[in-house]
Structure 1
Amino acid sequence: MNCCLHRNSNRLWTSVLGAFLLWTGFVASGAGLTSVSAASEPGPVISLVIDGKGIAADVSPLRQNGRMLVPIRVIAESTGANVNYDASARQVTVTENGKRVVLLVDSRTAFVDGARVTMDAPAQLVQQRTVVPIRFVSESLGYQVQWDELAGVAMIQTKPAENIAAVIPYTSNPYVVQPGDTLSEIARQHDTTAQALKKNNNLITEDLQVHQLLFLPKDAKRSEHPLTKEVQDSRLLDDSYLFPFSDSSWYEPYGDSFGSDREWTESSNGSVRGHEGIDIMAPKGTPVYSAADGTINRIGWNTYGGWRINITDKEGRYRLYYAHLSAYVPGLQVGGTIQAGQLIGFVGDSGYGGMGTVGMFEPHLHFGLYKNSDGKAIDPYYYLRCWEQKKVESRFS
């Protein structure tokens, strides 16, 4: 599988607009229905992703006979979609872009553009909300639907997913740029060409920055300044680790902010503390994935990190820290096992205050890495740069 590197982009995240923006506002009760999430959660939970963005809801979708059902409450007006409930006929009608779907409450019968079809689960009324089978309605309107069984999250794609990662053909021979280096000199030292270096790294110019990570082409000599000289534990560079965003997630180019000053403190005494991680700016609601296999050792609110989760890697050597989340996926608890690439939460702007504080900074993922033996923070920058070549693949083509 080709490795990927995030392509620098100035695009801003657009609002999630689809044929129906599903906003849940119901309680988990009703004949034959069960809640997707556990009864007790460590913080806010999101169970629905539309076009790559987690959609906040006060409760989770429901499942019946293996089918997920959600209520239709708010429709994005700018999409042209329309939802209508006829109480006398006990009938729900959804229309968009010339498509028309009619569902009858408490009946498995439905009509798609006038054609009669039989559904696996009927539309129902739950606490005065009309609950409809999300896959049937979505696919009838031409959308793609996936159920992430591991995370307990439904994913809907209303338009083709865009892979915004640039392919790096060869990544097994990294070089760390040294003071005074030029692209031509690096090429000469490694029996390759500047053009080959530019092509393999998707470089537009030959400008370099000290400590920048370059991937030498396949036919180049072994790196004179390999990444293993810059990191504390080269075992964290192996293929079992993944980047915390997918190949279709947009985020801003990030630098090494480890150790930089941070003025906000819980005591508000004017002291300055060092930043113990790397900040990756991304739109609120961007899915966050676990970088490693491991076990949850902490989850919930932290004054500095807001809604955060700590995962100890399976070898017990390091704790991986994901902070400032807007929500978790359902069912995460201390002691729970996590797989690399598993969806665990969503980017947010929580933290710097009491429980529920948001808006103290722009949305981003704070990623930290700590030694499990003594709790000491280490710089995860180069590890992230390496893992950035191994992203979770989008579920949608």
Structure 2
Amino acid sequence: MAHFPFHRSIKLFFILVLLLSLPIPSVFSEGTVVRVYFEGEPIHFTDAQPLIKEGRTLVPFRKLFETLGFSVEWIDTGQLKQAVGTRDGLEIRLTIDHNEAKVNGSSIPLDVPAQIIDSSTMVPLRFVSENSGYQVTFSTTGSEASVQIRTAVSNTLVEPYVVKGRVVDANGKPVEGADIFADNQLLYNSNLLTVTDVNGYYRIELPLLATTWNMGGSHTLEGYVVDLTPEIDKPFAGNTGAIRNFTIESETVKGELYLYMDLNSFIEGYREDQVELILTPVGPLAGGSTGKVITGHGHNFPGGFGMNDVPVGTYKVTAKHTSTDGESKQLLVRKRNEGQYAESAEIEFSPLVEGIYQAEVEVKVPK
């Protein structure tokens, strides 16, 4: 199969530059050393240590409940095992290996259940703390994670050496689990990372350094990594602190659609820049938007020929060729190197590297 050249060396060069320029992520995963603090003071666990499982922090139930002021009870009927904490009219009941907990009798789903690990009863820290009225923030430095449990305070008051804020979607709803980073402008590749809580809030405590910080973040929606849009996009001094809120806008996720031609079927008078592509969204785009039909001709851009800045998602693609004398002819299309040519083809943008998406389509003149 032949196709028009598209400066592949240029494309590979840009890919290499992008790969080398991407930040090295700090991984908050199983095996990470976890330090837990309550109102700024470390919690010392003796029987077992906090651990990460399926992206959630589990801690020994008795020490956590007692630190938060609960009376604790362990129920074991043989078939049913429960960890129960009560405090001032509040009851939190977690059943071992059960994906629902009860808060004052109401069932609430859990991402990770309470469980017995190496003879210690471990419970999800964030769930217990936030349902007790506390705010939980996470940050990572190297292979260590720091978890802060604090009394919930106003998110509109600027605090020295603290950056905090909220992430919402285009409709103003809070976004849980969005990744937020504070980029240290003094030390290379020393970002502080955290995630938003169930109400979309985050908080990062900054080290006592004479430096400025930039904020950024991302979130995964519909299988795509979506960049967060800051309300205020400018650096701030660590000693003054800052509030930086973000929104998720699907329009920020764009990809490149590469157009290839079947040279064996193209005859004199047919040119690649006269091929018109019609992209009809199939299902939601990144971020959940419905999207619009996109019609356009291919053009050269760094890396190849086709259409760039296309909102990522899945599309039904059709194509036609319009000659200089105005004659229009329907073309056959397919996803590049896959299946048979047809009047339309379904293509889906996929990541080249994290945050960079592309799709490829081939067109052919019918016999």
Pair in the same fold by TM > 0.5: no
Structure having greater relative contact order (Cα 8 Å, sep ≥ 6): 1
Category of TM-score, reference length = shorter chain: 0.3 to 0.5
Larger relative strand fraction: 2
In terms of Rg, which structure is larger?
Answer: 2
